[in-house]
Every structure is written in C-alpha cells, then in structure tokens.
A and B are shown apart, each in its own frame.
Chain A
Amino acid sequence: MEVIKNYDDEELLRSIRDEINMDEAIKYLYKNYFNGLSIYVQQHDGSRQDAEDIFQETIVAFIQLVQQSKFRGEASVKTFLFAINKNTWLNELKRRSRAQVREAKFETAREVVDEGIHNYITGREARKQVLNIMDKLGEGCKKILLAFYYENLSMKEIVNTMNYENDQVLRNKKYKCLKQLEQMLTADPALAKTLKDALQNGQ
C-alpha cells in the first residue's frame, strides 16, 4: 500500500481550502476515516457498497464545505466527517424508506449537533443533476471548463496543454461551452433553482 502523508486537522483544512496537494489530502481522509465511518452505515442497515458510496459523498461534501468556509475547524475533522456521513446515510435511508417505522428511526437518530451541518449538505439528487448536465457537454468543453474553473489554470496554460491555435480561439470555445451550460439552466428554471439551492445556499 502506498505511503500516505500524515496531517493534523489544521494542515488538512489548509490543504483542502487552498487546494494544495489535494490528492494527498483526500487519500489521507480515506486511509484514516473510511474504516471508522463505514462501520456506522453497515451497522444501520447498509451494505459495504452503501458505506463506500456514502463515504465518497461525505468527502465531496466535506471538501465543498471547507472550500466555502462553512467549516473552519470548529469541531475536529473526525467529528465533522462522522456527522456528514451519518446525515448523508440517514437522508439516503429516508429516501429509500417507505415505511413509517423508518421515518421515526430517521427522526430520532438525527442529533442536534448534526442539524447545523445538515443544511449545508448537497442533496444526492442535486449531485446527480450536476453529473447529468455536465455529461451533456462534449468532452472538449468539459476539459476546458474544468481546467479553467476547477483547476484554475490560466488561458495560456490551457492553450499549451490542449493544443489550441491561440488564446483567442480557446477563449471563444470556452465562452460557447459556458453559454451552453447556462442555456440549459435558462431552459429549465426548476433545475436552476435546485442547483442554486444545493450548491450556493447549501439546502
């Protein structure tokens, strides 16, 4: 198994917030917290696969919350991850459940401490919609938009790595790709609202 760097909480949060060695930080989260958190899901009606999926969602939510400065280390990373993991799983149980028994279980299992973060966790449905609309873009568009808005590369860097003729050609292409996405939202105001609530307001 690969040797993974150790972090203290402060260093880990800084790494995620400033996007420094993100891969290392994410691997550290997996190595140190997956086994502990997966037990909760598996002890509460979940399978190993459920535990893996929920943990993946937990990590995505955690990164978002840290990068949006909605978590600054008020609690320990372990406690916070556990709360996200638990809420995400209980939400999923609620979604799956049609029995009132489960409803009651869901409501009683949710602790007051979790309420604070509950509102900031992006819903699973919203995440699926993110994947759907991104998948409607061509691969070229996805690469450009990710390079510019996610990896924060400059136009010059993208021109060099993606073999565009020049900066202006790339700029035009990026504009078209972004507008394509924007028009999907304009055409579907309900989708726009769901995504806005999930990604910006955290509901």
Chain B
Amino acid sequence: MDNNLHNSEKLVRYIDDELNEAELKALRRELETNSSLQQELNNLLITKDVIKNYGIVQKVNGIHKTMMLDLATDIYSTKAVIRKFPKMIISIAASIIIIMGLFGLYQYLTISPNNLYQEKYTPYQLAVMRGTTAESTITSAYSEKRYDSVIALYNQMKEPTMNEQFLTAQSYLNKADYSNAITLFTTIVEKNNSAHLSVLEDEAEYYLALGYVKNNEAAKALPLFEKMYNDKNHVYHNKIDRWYLAKIQLLVRKN
C-alpha cells in the first residue's frame, strides 16, 4: 500500500515535470513492467487534459456571456439611434427617396441614343485651314455644307490628309451615316496614337464618342467620355460632366 502511494506520488510529480533524471529513469523502468501503474499514468494524463479543457470552457463561457450582451447591445443601440429620428425627418427622407426613385425611373424610361446624341452634338465649325488645292476644295465644300461633294472628293483621293478625313467624317455625321463616320474617326484616333501625333485628336475622340452613342454603341462611347471627363486638358473636358456620364452608363445598362 505504501509502495502504491509512493508510486502514485511519483506519477503526479512525473506529469508535473518535477522528477529528476534518476527518478525519471527508475519510473520508466517500473512502467515497462507494471501495467497497473501504466494504467494509472494514462488516467492521470487524461485528468490533466480534462482540467485544461474545463479551464478553456469556463473561460470561453465567461466571455461568451459578456460578448453576447455586447453584440446584442450594439444591434439595439443602432436600432435605438434609428428610433430617435423624428418621424417628420423620416417622412421627408422617404419622400426624397421616392422622388429620386421616380426621377431615376423617368430617366431610365426616356433615355435614348438619340436624345443623348442631340444633347451634345453641334456641327463642327470650320476653322481657317491652309493646305493643298484638293484639301482646299474639300474645305470649301464643307464650309458650304455640300456634304455629298465632300464625300465624293474624298473618295477620289489617293492619299487624303487627316484634316480631309476629319471633314469627311463630319460630313458622314451630317448625312446620318454613323457607321462610316465612326470608321473615319477611328482611323484618325489610331493614326494619332500610333504616330504620336495630335492632329484633331480631341475633336475626333469627341465626335467618335457621339457617333457611337447615336449608333447604339454606348458601351464603346463610355470610356471615351470618361477620358474627356478625367483629362482637364482635353478640348471637350468642359462639355462632359458627371451627370452626362451617368446617363451614358444608364444607356449602357438599358442596352
């Protein structure tokens, strides 16, 4: 019995890491041959884990109660703040939301490629342009609003300049041939980009974007208008505002 008690005490000191080297060796030898001592050690190790687990559960349980209360209070305090708003303010806010909703709905229903095009389109006014004889011919035809002649002259030219391409593209816009206008404006934008030029670049971008809008390709127009809006040095920067961008976005969604 005394021996058992002695061994039990040793086992407890063992799980508490209190045995010296010699005691440890002796105990390990004893454990190899004494199965009941081995069983007792196993159970002591389980009790140690039981205590640790109980400790964790107790700690989490204590915090759980506090946190549940805090989280609930947080939710209720948010609700309480909402409740504190006078009914009148809530009614006004609700009315504003309804009006804005109706306005948004109206915009959505009435927005169209044509009205967005007409909102920003103004025929290109010719500045004084100097150049070749042929170019002068196109220029004078354009200034006299003989758009068919501009297109015919352009089609006879082997190497038109970018100015001539631009006036021809404008003529196509005037003739409501948006597809051909888009092709020529795109050519001008690409030439400028590839050759690092800036011949009528901003003008071509602006009218190209409008061409896309009218041709029911608002998604292609949007990045061009965004570029104009973001670039303060763009010639047409002041013509594009947030509201117009929003309407283009609405048109993209509607499409």
Of B49, B55, B71, which one neighbours A200 at CB under 8 angstroms?
B49
Q: A101 at the A/B interface (Cβ < 8 Å)? A: no
Chain B: how many interface residues by the 8 Å CB criterion?
Answer: 36
Query: Across the interface, do B51 and A146 meet the contact criterion of CB distance under 8 Å?
Result: yes
Chosen A-B contacts, 24 in total, with CB atoms closer than 8 Å, are: A2-B70, A23-B63, A27-B67, A30-B63, A31-B71, A52-B64, A60-B56, A63-B56, A130-B50, A130-B57, A133-B50, A145-B51, A149-B52, A149-B55, A150-B51, A175-B9, A178-B12, A178-B44, A181-B51, A182-B40, A185-B47, A186-B40, A195-B49, A195-B50
Contact of A31 with B67 in the complex, beta carbons under 8 Å: yes
In chain A, positions 125-155 with a C-beta closer than 8 Å to chain B are 127, 130-131, 133-134, 142, 145-146, 148-151
The closest CB in chain A to the CB of B54 belongs to A134
- The answer to whether B67 touches A149, judged by C-beta atoms less than 8 angstroms apart, is no
CB-defined contacts of A22 to chain B, threshold 8 Å: 59
When A and B form their complex, what is the total count of cross-chain residue pairs whose Cβ atoms lie within 8 Å? 104
- B137 lies within 8 A of chain A by Cβ: no
Kindly identify which residue among A27, A35, A64, A200 contacts B56, using a CB–CB cutoff of 8 Å: A64
User: In the bound complex, what is the Cα–Cα distance between A122 and B58 (angstroms)?
Assistant: 16
Residues of A within 8 A of B46 (CB): 185, 192, 195-196, 199-200
Known A27-B66, A182-B43, A185-B46; 13 more pairs at CB < 8 Å: A23-B63, A27-B63, A60-B57, A60-B60, A63-B56, A63-B60, A142-B54, A145-B51, A179-B12, A185-B47, A192-B42, A195-B46, A200-B46
Candidates B8, B43, B64; contact of A185 at CB < 8 Å: B43
CB-CB contacts of B63-80 with A at 8 A, as 1s and 0s? 110111011011001000
A162 CB to nearest B CB, Å: 16
User: Would you give the shortest CB distance from B69 to chain A, in whole angstroms?
Assistant: 10
B99 on the A face (CB < 8 A)? no
A149 partner residues in chain B, CB cutoff 8 A: 48, 51-52, 55
B residues within 8 A CB of A199?
46, 49-50, 53
Contact of B67 among A30, A150, A175 (CB under 8 A): A30
Asked if A26 is at the interface of the complex by the 8 Å CB criterion, the answer is yes
Which residues from chain B sit less than 8 Å from chain A, CB to CB?
A: 8-9, 12, 16, 39-40, 42-61, 63-64, 66-68, 70-71, 73-74, 77
CB–CB B55/A150 < 8 A:
yes
Select one of A1, A145, A179 contacting B70, CB under 8 A: A1
- Residue-wise, chain A 24-44 has the 8 Å CB interface mask toward B (1 for contact) of 001100110011000000000
A145–B74 alpha-carbon span in the complex (Å): 37
Q: Is the CB of B53 within 8 A of A122?
A: yes
Q: Is the CB of A34 within 8 A of B42?
A: no
Contact (A196, B42) CB under 8 Å given A63-B56, A64-B56, A146-B54: yes
Q: Interface residues of A toward B: which range?
A: 35 or more
Given A30-B71, A186-B40, A200-B45 in contact, is the A56-B60 Cβ separation under 8 Å? yes
Q: Which residue of A lies closest to B64 (CB)?
A: A56
Closest B-chain residue to A195, C-beta based? B46
Q: Give the distance to chain A from B60, nearest Cβ to Cβ, in Å.
A: 5
B12 to chain A, nearest CB (A): 6
CB-defined contacts of B77 to chain A, threshold 8 Å: 1
- Tell yes or no: A59 within 8 A of B by CB: yes
CB interface residues, A 83-131, toward B, < 8 Å: 122, 127, 130-131
Cross-chain contact B67 with A182 (CB below 8 angstroms): no
Evaluate whether A23 and B59 lie within 8 angstroms (CB atoms) in the complex, with A1-B74, A56-B64 already known. yes
CB-CB < 8 A to B71: which residues of A? 30-31, 34-35
Q: Which residue of A lies closest to B70 (CB)?
A: A1
**Chain B residue with Cβ nearest A180:** B47
Using Cβ atoms and an 8 Å threshold, which residues of chain B touch A60?
Answer: 53, 56-57, 60
Q: A59 to B60, Cβ gap below 8 A? A: yes
Name the distance in Å between A122's Cβ and chain B's nearest Cβ.
Answer: 7
B-chain residues with CB within 8 Å of residue A131 when the two chains form the complex:
54, 57
